[in-house]
Structure 1
């Protein structure tokens, strides 16, 4: 991937990889937990070959210069504002928006809040938030999501996660090289706390995500350990625009393990739009 550049949003400085054809329509790719922008490294060459420009930030808390203290600084409304601030800083009217895991949650919210800035939406793994909520009383999703409640505790998750993270990621299907890279980064206490603060800020967030009104593709792995079928299938209800559901015989880590299929879905959505 390209060398890092920076963009500033107030007092925060974000790391960004901006690469591909200069005249290509921009695709903004948002990573999840506990990843960073390098999670897209197998996907972006396909997008460049299709004539698309890629923008891949390390998001709030993952960029060392954008790591404010306190869980309140990681509310969803601030994460969405970071996305729109990036577009403003680069002078971009619209992008094709792509997100995985937590990045998918931000992408759903950003597309709902600013459809005029979103040419299309492609989300990996993460169902629409309303579909996730609707699935809770009718599936095993509460058990799958139990770790999110555990992450609300102060300090203890950091002590438990840091020494075990690499093995846990490998057991859940992430390739060894990726698991090692993410785990090494999360051994920095400030980095891990900032990443966990995304979860801790959820009860404080003031953003509700209505149905999106932009052309959308949702890609889900049938063996996802965290996100089940019920929410995946309910997601269509919350897209009031052309919609495509892509089910893969895969787990959770789609950018790293299913790059060809992920890139194909993104390219198909951009071309259809």
Structure 2
């Protein structure tokens, strides 16, 4: 059972869920949009059972104690710095990093910028950001799948997503995420300023440059029914990893794999850790 903890850095106070022995193998988990640390409930239990110290963080903008107003304060450089600052506060010199969706983008960037700090990288759904950007630019199918990002960057996004009891926000989860999790996410993002902070991750993309190739041992997991990420971007990911690489495809599962196929995801994450002690 995970416990709520606070992690205080120079950027502010991050909320997090922690499970497993404090002297266990250090694993940090990063959620995506529009989610929170509770996305990882099943994985936290599995990792704790394997004697890992697993900590899932509510990231910048999602933690009320770290919610700057300026769009530029959500650029990838600062999201990466948050991960390193959190690890420093936890006393983790080296750790395993797991990310889904936007959390995967941050995890890729951390691995590229700080390979000495990571034992392994596990990225769910979103492939290496440079390869993903290339697919958006060159592959018509991926460009169509990513068109929603323009909507999220618009000034009317908050009003659109929260109208009619957050009907469009709820629709994003496609009925694949558990009702308690959806209700929790909607409640969090309905708080003043919370959804704007989360959408500012998309609006700040213009401030971020390319991410270098990754040398850290990497597991990338893609699901075939992901409406946001197509096969071109997924299958192209390997060329952006220079270290040990494993690609896993989960059939008939949506973008929301940690909710829809929690046992499969937990098994893959744990296998990857065991393979790289």
* Match of residue 139 from structure 2: 138
TM-score by length of 2: 0.94
Q: How does 1:81-230 map to 2 (within 5 A)?
A: 81-136=81-136, 137-154=138-155, 156-162=156-162, 163-171=166-174, 173-205=176-208, 207-230=209-232
2:95 aligned with 1:60? no
Aligned residues: 271
Note the C-alpha offset of 1:187.
1.4
* Structure 1 unaligned residues grouped into runs of 5+: none
Q: 1:251 to 1:160 in 2, by over 3 A?
A: same
Note the C-alpha offset of 1:11.
4.6
Note the C-alpha offset of 1:264.
1.1
Contact 2:173 2:256 (8 Å CA) reproduced: no
* Structure 2 unaligned residues grouped into runs of 5+: none
Separation in 2 of the partners of 1:269 and 1:21? 20
Deviating above 4 A after TM superposition, structure 1's stretches of 4 or more consecutive aligned residues are: none
Deviates more, 1:176-185 or 1:50-59: 176-185
Separation in 2 of the partners of 1:4 and 1:125? 26
TM-score by length of 1: 0.95
SS at match of 2:246: strand
Separation in 2 of the partners of 1:261 and 1:246? 11
Q: 1:166 to 1:193 in 2, by over 3 A?
A: closer
